[in-house]
Amino acid sequence: MRLVLGASQSVADRDAKSLTHQSFGSMFAAVDAPLSAAVITGLKDGERKGPLILRLAGAGSRAVSVTAHRMAGNGGAISVLMARASWPQEEQAANGLLSPAGFQSMASRLIDNAARSGEALELAFVEFAGLGQACRAMDRQAADALISAVAGAVRSESKGGFTAAKLGDDRFAMLRQAGETPDVLAAKLTQITASLDAPGASAQTLAVDPAMGLQRIGKAIRFALEDFERTGLQAEPTASLADALKRAVRTTLVRAGEVGQTILERKFELAYQPV
């Protein structure tokens, strides 16, 4: 495979000689190497991916924006454009994934910003059924490597490469540009991870409406994350983030009604626990 980096060596503070015959991933910090690998693996002829933000190897907090294009009919050559960028200051795990709370915060802000930019975004939930079980059958080093590789694949399909979170053993959430069906997203992730000992991916998406306002967006994302983490992909998925919020409110009211009825009918026993 050939990579055409152009003047990117100046952005990365590397001369052309030091980059020649080096792997693409060697340019980036270890946490982002699986992301760079997923970008290259997932590109089809004529396809473009990016911009994604990756941190440079040995460069502290320095980061670059990366856009990759596999040039059709050119022997699989890939053109890579880079520009200096700032890394979003949101706490991440060692594999580059956000915590659920961090994801809620970042996704809420980006969706709210989309109200001004006009960018169409969606929330996506991805499940690699059996991933956790597969990891438990491996030694720690192999399991960590598998999770990092899957995390890189998920991040490669998220907005900017940094808006994805892990929810339990098999489940991930991401914010991404709208426009593809869940089946297309699942097929992409399955193709990227095909060489790994990872199960195939399944996905569902939720349309987002920036006009909901920052506070309601945050609540809706929290409810949607909790629901997906608890039950996985839904047999009858909601179509939008607004619908997910309505569903959560209805569920809460039903549960409150059940508790109230239990109290009215005295279907409970009080227990004394000395302390």
The model's pLDDT over 64-88, given as tens digits with 9 standing for 90+, comes to 999 999 988 878 788 888 889 988 8
Residue spans in the chain of domains classed CATH 3.30.70: 100-257
Residue spans in the chain of domains classed CATH 3.30.450.20: 3-85
The model's pLDDT over 34-52, given as tens digits with 9 standing for 90+, comes to 999 999 999 999 999 989 9
pTM comes to 0.85
Structure tokens at 233: 């992909």
Per residue in 207-246, is it b (16+ CB within 10 Å) or e — as a string?
Answer: ebbbebeeeebbbbbbbbbebbbeebeeeeebebbbebbe
Domain 100-257 is in which class?
Answer: alpha beta
The model's pLDDT over 137-150, given as tens digits with 9 standing for 90+, comes to 999 999 999 999 99
Q: What is the DSSP letter of 36?
A: H
Inform me whether the pLDDT recorded for 106 exceeds 70: yes
Say how many CA atoms lie within 13 Å of 85 toward its Cβ.
22
Pairing of strands 3-4, 78-85: parallel
CATH tag, 3-85: 3.30.450.20
Report which residue type is found at 249. Answer: V
Asked if 229 and 168 touch (Cβ cutoff 8 Å), the reply is yes
Give the confidence band of 241 by pLDDT, cuts at 50, 70, 90.
confident
Asked if 156 and 35 touch (Cβ cutoff 8 Å), the reply is yes
